[in-house]
Structure 1
Amino acid sequence: MAIRSETELYGPVKHFWEQRGYEVKGEVKHCDLVAMKGDGPPIIVELKKSLTVPLLLQGIDRLKLTGLVYLAVELPAHGKAPYQAKWSEIRDLCGRLGLGLLTVRFYKTKKPVVGIVCEPESYKPRHSKGKLNRLTKEFRDRLGDFNQGGSTKQKLVTAYRQKALVCAFHLQSVEKMSPRELKVLSGYAETQRILQNNHYGWFERVGRGAYRLSPDGKKALVEYAPLLECLGLLRGEEGMSSLDHS
């Protein structure tokens, strides 16, 4: 059963890693899927409908971040390898590149099945420590998983956006507040920088060292109400009502 988009691969592949004890999040620093377990290195999975040269190049680029990079593609109903190749040849190709390969077989009447064609080899290119640290920090700073891996046309819920939303939430019920006061409520050390940069236009400076919520900020609280509820800041209809009247 042919899929229409690589986003359909995200659910089965996410479940595959969660069954192995990993925490999984989508679209982290341009990586379709990132899985982590404890303090271990991140596993990166790039999703595509089929195995292509651009996908292989993308996988090689991800090796700058970690040695545990997988590609995940749909397994056609006929089960044959692409380009009239043998699966052993595909396995050898990925091995030489230091990449793992997963396939996802979709059925009409039962759940998709994820298979392992090969694991990443011990090939260890030179990693970018700075990029790896930023990837790991973004993963750990995010609360929950609100992005579907493989999507490109949706606003990403980044750790920065989450923090800005929390700041906006605490500003909605007051006329103004200082960065220091808001820092105590939000728990974010970078609260002042978020207010000053005002990346999304959600805040307004009123006088010296004080900020309030802008009209765009109020709209954002309504738009992201489900996210705020998941973060434990809103509770159902009662919480929505408070946003409508703020």
Structure 2
Amino acid sequence: MKETLKPKEEDLYKPIQRYFKRHGYDVYGEVKDCDITLVKEDELVIIELKLNLSVDLLIQATKRQRMTESVYIAVPKPKYNLRSKRWRDTCHLVRRLELGLILVSLNGSRKKVEVVMDPTPFDRKKSLNRNKRKRQSIMTEINGRSGDYNIGGSTRKQIMTAYRENCIQIACYLQHAGELSPKALVQLGTGNKTASILTKNYYGWFERIRRGIYILSEKGKNEVEEYPDLLAYYRKNIPTTKTEKDKL
């Protein structure tokens, strides 16, 4: 059985050398600790080679940016899907650092070089504008919470979202009043998603006893007790409206 040789960093050199020579560059290996240097007239390009795209490689490449703006990192082409979120996130980081990225296919007798991106200035303003909706969704979520009820970095724990908190608020008011309509709940400050929350009843906490009137289900009575801090907060701040006075 033929043994498969593990690739080495130097296996990347020849394909890259041939590629850039075809594009008119003079190519030099190992100059002042730089893996590859390219020269065309007054242009200086530095390429750092590694078998894996690691933090160490990114640090090394950003140090080379002290000498020139044109710095690439070159790695073997990954075996995982290049359309995956993992790869998109990797490319974003490389682009954010204003580095170029080269992939080298080492399979087969003919090695293929692909320049995925050139080193260009990162347009932070353009990036922020492109992600306005994501920013707004974060602000909406924050504005929908009454406080901080999660521990950052925790896993396998139920996250207190604005939606869940809204459900707890509705449950608290129903527990206090016994039965209420969506309109009455909105008047108490449960927000414009109240009717949708009651209708969809995602957690099974609510029960419609007649048209337009809801109570807290047995499941709801039991499960909302798992959130004593929020219950105490909403019980303390239950507003009183004419509608609720009439109901009580």
TM-score when normalising by structure 1 = 0.46
Larger radius of gyration: 2
Structure with the larger RCO, 1 or 2 (CA within 8 Å, 6+ apart): 1
